């Protein structure tokens, strides 16, 4: 049994991790996944679980986030639970607390009214801003969860009040809430980027039955049904245009701002927006199998897989906090008991230590960093299924490519013509076009597209397809042969060959050789930038695996300067080659496979990070891949790697900075050099700097 819930107003990435980990302890919950990006909780519950599932979820959620509203998911509610309430009340709340704090500082100065007023103002500011922190600490203690950042802050600030450091106690809560506020702003920005992808979900479909059009739910439309899409409406389902012509805005799917033209017989993807003409579309996929549904599912499950550093921080805090508390108790009790001294001074040092040691900077900035990285990638049409895959992208050593549809366009095209015996290229192409008029073979279609004119079929007769060789036709009294070398040899026609890579189509008329047309799969223009860019980014080796012939593959590899090539491979042989490469790479580095088709799904799943190139065209690629590039541009991979590395750099900057400052001030606090205000900087000051540093990811 699967249950899904929306956690409305969930704004703390670290709390999301804690909620997920706590729910996983319930043996009746076989699988738990909380996606912070969508605030969506998914549970697989054993059938023999008799308790109220929602009550249990609410109990756990409210341990960490008392204000979060738990909403049971239904088929009508699939949108991201974005922050629906205004942020203005929080701004007012923070402003009032800050004014009270600043007023307290003013009353502390000489020549003003009274220290009692200052105390009252600090107490008011502390209660207003720190109530939730203290409440969480008490709630956690009653539930047997003592040691966390809420407990540390509560003990440290109450201790500060005991020793008369009222301003310091209030300052800790003020700056902590300011840091939390900026974290929420960053979360809202990232969610907005990710939620933009969710706007592709259609609200309705215009179903046409017997000339009558009615609005229906997209889920109720079947394959083969006819739908009408008017200007300004979203394409609700995948299909083929049967009538009409229009420009489509596909930016929500691909990140590309340039509209593309569609007309009769063109395939069309759901999620695009019809900009101009009315389109009549025959549905080819049900809503559950459509592109828009696949992408929505992918987005809803993004960020469900945590990076190593994300899971590390919760484990780190679990052990770190009790160690700090024990150390603080020892500093407060041991020196005055064994060596003498003033108890107040040592208690003061222990409280300073507690304030310094709160891991707020880490618990705020690390989850936010990876979430921001996923949001920054989404803005560029790159869907990353989890923080762990951002880590994998940042550590790439080998990148393995499929050829057709990935580095090449996957479409046959005439790339060269070589006329012979005094004939012109125009005569060569015309003869080939006359012969291929009746064929639906991709090679024939590419010749007809290159010819670009209509053929008078009345002048054609005796059309014959010769299996494995080509075709023969009588055109305007001339016998034209079009095919491979075997056809020429079998008809005793002398021909010439060239070294151009691709499929060779030889043409002869009345026994005289006219020339050769070369047809090949065209390399994508940005494949050159992608391969050279990977080299510039320090990727050690690029590899191409293809089922195409060795000669064709060698030509593509040489053109793109790919380091290693394996051709004429079956799908299972691609898997074997990737297994070999995984064994060759450094154990701390990763291997990425970039592919686009159903045949690539096994390799996409096997690689450390599977990247679906042009994944919109392949459901299997979307499901098997860890990263989906929403366009057919290989150079998008470079953007993905740069975002991943920038995210990693920011996260490690925060870790090193926070721990370095804390270690330094722990030492200073233990020997009595650091005061309560240095402690405030070491805790919440560092937290603010870390959060502001993380904001850079969102602006990448």
Q: How many CA atoms lie within 13 A of 232 on its CB side?
A: 0
Type and span of the H or E element at 126: helix 115-142
Q: Are 230 and 261 in contact (CB under 8 A)?
A: no
CA distance 205 to 287: 10
Q: Reduce the DSSP state of residue 197 to 3 states and report it.
A: helix
Cβ contact 397:589 at 8 Å:
yes
Query: Contact 453/433 with Cβ under 8 angstroms?
Result: yes
The three state secondary structure string of 597-614 is CHHHHHHHHHCCEEEEEC
Candidates 76, 176, 70; CA nearest to 126 is: 176
Which candidate, 506, 500, 374, 486, places its Cα nearest to that of 38? 374
**Which residue, among 262, 194, 188, 274, has the nearest Cα to 234 in the 3D structure?**
274
CA distances from 62 to 19, 303, 700 (A): 9, 22, 34
Distance CA(411)–CA(234), nearest Å, equals 28
**SS3 labels along 277-338:** CCEEEEECCCHHHCHHHHHHHHHHCCCCECCHHHHHHHHHHHHHHHHHHHHHHHHHHHHHHH
Q: What is the largest CA-CA distance in the chain?
A: 119
Active-site residue, 402 included: yes
Q: Report d(CA 248, CA 231) in Å as an integer.
A: 9
CA angle 650/377/564 to nearest 5° reads 95
Residue 390 tokens, joined: 């951002």
Closest CA relative to residue 399, chosen from 634, 646, 643 = 634
Choosing from 225, 249, 402, 632, which is the catalytic residue? 402
Q: For 647-672, what is the HEC assignment?
A: HHHHHHHHHHHHHHHHHHHHHHHHCC
Secondary element (H or E) of residue 410: strand 408-419
Q: How far apart are CA 328 and CA 309, in angstroms?
A: 27
Write out the catalytic residue numbers. 402
């Amino acid at each position: 049994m699967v249950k899904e819930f929306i956690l409305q107003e969930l704004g703390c990435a670290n709390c999301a991790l804690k909620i997920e980990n706590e729910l996983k302890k319930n043996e009746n919950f076989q699988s738990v996944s909380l996606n912070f990006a969508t605030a969506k909780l998914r549970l697989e519950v054993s059938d023999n679980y008799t308790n109220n599932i929602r009550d249990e979820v609410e109990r756990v959620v409210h341990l960490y986030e008392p204000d979060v509203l738990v909403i049971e998911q239904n088929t009508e509610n699939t949108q991201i639970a974005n922050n629906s309430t205004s942020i203005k009340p929080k701004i007012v709340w923070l402003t009032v607390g800050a004014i009270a704090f600043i007023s307290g500082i003013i009353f502390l100065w000489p020549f003003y009214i009274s220290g009692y007023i200052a105390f009252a103002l600090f107490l008011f500011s502390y209660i207003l801003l720190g109530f939730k922190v203290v409440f969480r600490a008490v709630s956690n203690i009653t539930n047997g969860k003592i040691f966390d950042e809420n407990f540390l802050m509560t003990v440290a600030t109450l201790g500060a009040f005991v020793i008369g450091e009222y301003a310091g106690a209030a300052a800790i809560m003020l700056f902590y809430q300011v840091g939390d506020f900026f974290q929420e702003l960053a979360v809202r920005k990232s969610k907005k980027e990710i939620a933009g992808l969710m706007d592709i979900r259609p609200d309705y479909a215009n179903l046409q039955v017997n000339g009558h059009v009615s609005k229906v739910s997209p889920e109720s439309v079947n394959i083969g049904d006819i739908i009408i899409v008017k200007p300004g409406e979203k394409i609700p389902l995948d299909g083929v245009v049967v009538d009409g012509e229009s420009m489509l805005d596909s930016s929500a799917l691909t990140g590309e701002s340039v509209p593309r033209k569609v007309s009769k017989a063109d395939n069309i993807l759901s999620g695009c927006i019809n900009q101009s003409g009315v389109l009549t579309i025959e549905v080819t996929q049900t809503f559950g199998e459509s592109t828009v549904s696949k992408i929505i599912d992918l987005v809803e499950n993004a960020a469900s897989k945590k990076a190593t550093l994300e899971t590390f921080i919760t484990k780190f805090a679990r052990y770190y906090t009790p160690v700090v508390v024990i150390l603080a108790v020892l500093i407060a009790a041991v020196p005055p008991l064994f060596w003498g001294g003033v108890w107040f001074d040592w208690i003061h040092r222990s409280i300073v230590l507690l304030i310094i040691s709160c891991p707020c900077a880490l618990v705020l900035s690390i989850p936010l960093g990876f979430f921001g990285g996923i949001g920054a990638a989404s803005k560029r049409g790159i869907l990353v299924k989890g923080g762990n895959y951002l880590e994998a992208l940042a550590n790439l050593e080998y990148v393995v490519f499929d050829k057709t549809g990935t580095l090449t366009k996957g479409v046959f095209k005439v790339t060269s013509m070589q006329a012979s015996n005094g004939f012109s290229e125009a005569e060569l192409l015309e003869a080939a076009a006359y012969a291929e008029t009746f064929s639906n073979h991709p090679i024939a279609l590419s010749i007809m597209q290159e010819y670009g004119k209509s053929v008078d079929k009345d002048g054609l007769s005796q059309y014959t397809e010769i299996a494995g060789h080509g075709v023969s036709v009588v055109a305007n009294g001339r016998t034209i042969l079009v095919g491979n070398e075997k056809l020429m040899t079998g008809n005793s026609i002398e021909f010439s060959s060239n070294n151009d890579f691709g499929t060779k189509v030889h043409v002869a008329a009345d026994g005289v050789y006219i020339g050769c047309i070369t047809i090949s799969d065209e390399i994508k223009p940005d494949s050159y930038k992608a391969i050279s860019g990977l080299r510039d980014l320090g990727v050690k080796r690029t590899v191409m695996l293809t089922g195409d012939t060795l000669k064709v593959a060698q030509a593509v590899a040489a053109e793109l300067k790919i380091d290693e090539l394996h051709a004429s491979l079956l799908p299972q042989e691609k898997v074997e080659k990737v297994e070999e490469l995984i064994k060759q790479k450094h154990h701390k580095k990763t291997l990425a496979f970039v592919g686009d088709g159903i045949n690539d799904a096994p390799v996409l799943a096997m690689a450390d990070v599977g990247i679906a190139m042009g994944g919109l065209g392949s459901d299997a690629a979307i499901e098997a891949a860890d990263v989906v590039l929403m366009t057919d541009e290989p150079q998008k991979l470079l953007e993905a790697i740069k975002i991943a590395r920038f995210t990693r750099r920011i996260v490690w900057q925060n870790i090193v900075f926070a721990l370095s400052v804390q270690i330094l001030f722990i030492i200073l606090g233990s020997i009595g050099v650091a005061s309560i205000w240095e402690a405030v900087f070491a805790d919440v000051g560092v937290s603010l700097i870390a959060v502001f540093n993380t904001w850079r990811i969102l602006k990448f």
